[in-house]
Amino acid sequence: MSSVVDDLVPVDLARCDDDVLLASWRELERTRNRLAAMEHRLIAEVERRGLPFTYGARNTAAFVRALLRVHPREAVARVRASAAAAPITTLTGEVVPAPFPVVAAAQAAGTISPRHAQVIVAAVQRLPDVVQVEHGARVEADLVGYATQFDPYQLGTLALRVTTLLDQDGALADVAYRERHRDLTIRQRPDGSASISGEATAELAERLLTVLDALAAPKPSIDGTKDPRTAGQRRHDGLLDALDLVQRAELLPSVAGISATVLLTTTAANWSSGDGVTTTGHGALLPTREAVRIAGGDARTMTIQLDDQGAVVTHTDARRLFTETQRLALIARDGGCTFPGCDTPPAWTQAHHVTDHARGGPTTIANGTLVCGHHHRQHQRQGWRSVINDGRPAWLPPPWLDPQQRPRTNPHVSPG
């Protein structure tokens, strides 16, 4: 089999036409796949001779690890694959066919990869014994056929459909298992950030993915600058936007008689200067500048300012959200996110105070504009500033983008 590699190594690939190049690559992949079948036979023969015991290894996987210097999990996977696809020769010389003969034949021919074989074997083994006896061989053959057309990921989806149709009780058992083991853990750090982990049911996963489809898409490019966020960062921001929409709808149940409210506590001096730290309702300590930014958002937020003795100096009005009537007026005027180049529709926007509410800006139509969650959070960091220009919302770009900082509007959503 090394002859294929020997033939390819000295070839100047730059001189090959497309057909020769791709044919060579496919042949190399076929050879790679056939090597797995050869290794299955080697492992089976090593076990037949008892070499792991002879050389003091704990088991065959440990012997493979020591001999070939592979990762422990890789060694276990190779031994497991051999057990499924290699014929076994007993001590008496009798040859027992491979448990998965169609998989073994396809690997020997190089038409499927080890990963394909792993997906097929796992699918058949998931079937209950009674179903496996009756339908296992057909499932194996069908999936090997699919494996010649689809990659292992796509094959896994097909395999799940096939096995679910044959074992619907098992699928229902999986649903019950996921329901019993559903979990969400939020481990908050002293700085207020947190790590999130858990197990989602199919319903939660589908609902969350549906929401993120709408809220986590990349934002349109501005002056050729693409959305710099990674996919994970967009999903994070999309979930934050969804929570903001839920809280803004004021449909959440009260907690100890109080509507769900983000509580921020600091001294009056810190709030006016942006220095020091602010304590959240859950005890996290945030830089005050970050707390001021959060308070300027569209969630229900109440800020308590204390003096040096801890007495309340002043507090903001938690009812600073724009009313339904005001939002309808903003929708009629703005038509969606007003940030230049953004096409977020009104239903996914937040009402933004042009002069921050945290800085005394009133909750009025004249001081409001619609903006999506991403631009609501990021515009200050990017150097943009919102203004009202001739009664209409506009945005002043940062000096590096426009030294003259001429007001920009969003022609995609603003009428007129």
Instruction: Look up residue 74 and give its two tokens.
Output: 């890789």
Fold (topology level) of 324-396: DNA Binding (I), subunit A (1.10.30)
Give strand pairing partners of 198.
184
The list of the chain residues with pLDDT below 50 reads 255-258, 298-300, 318, 414, 416
Helix (H) or strand (E) holding 176: helix 168-180
pTM: 0.47
Report the pLDDT value the prediction gives residue 113, as an integer from 0 to 100: 92
**Closest to 240 in 3D by CA, of 341, 378, 338:** 378
Could you tell me the maximum CA-CA distance found in the chain, to the nearest angstrom? 96
What pLDDT digit, counting tens, does each position of 92-126 carry?
A: 667 778 889 999 999 999 999 999 999 999 999 88
Report the pLDDT value the prediction gives residue 139, as an integer from 0 to 100: 92
Contacts 24+ apart (CB under 8 A), 37-41: 37/85, 37/104, 37/107, 37/108, 37/110, 38/1, 39/78, 39/82, 40/81, 40/82, 40/85, 40/86, 40/104, 40/107, 41/86, 41/87
Report the pLDDT value the prediction gives residue 102, as an integer from 0 to 100: 93
Report the pLDDT value the prediction gives residue 280, as an integer from 0 to 100: 77
246, 236 in Cβ contact below 8 A? no
Cα separation, 57 vs 51, whole angstroms: 8
Report the pLDDT value the prediction gives residue 358, as an integer from 0 to 100: 64
Report the pLDDT value the prediction gives residue 107, as an integer from 0 to 100: 92
Q: What share of the chain is helix, strand, coil (3-state, %, to 5)?
A: 50, 15, 35
**Closest to 113 in 3D by CA, of 29, 44, 39:** 29
Report the pLDDT value the prediction gives residue 309, as an integer from 0 to 100: 59
Cα separation, 20 vs 56, whole angstroms: 49
Instruction: Look up residue 51 and give its two tokens.
Output: 């070499």
Cα separation, 124 vs 133, whole angstroms: 10
3-state secondary structure of 302: strand
Question: What would the DSSP string read from start to end of 51-96?
Answer: HHHHTT-SSHHHHHHHHHT--HHHHHHHHHHHHHHS-EE-TTSPEE
Report the pLDDT value the prediction gives residue 258, as an integer from 0 to 100: 47
CA atoms within 13 A on the CB side of 223: 8
Domain boundaries of the chain, sorted by first residue = 2-176, 261-319, 324-396
36, 20 in Cβ contact below 8 A? no
What pLDDT digit, counting tens, does each position of 213-237 carry?
A: 888 888 877 666 788 889 899 899 8
Strands 183-188 and 194-199, by their bridges, are antiparallel
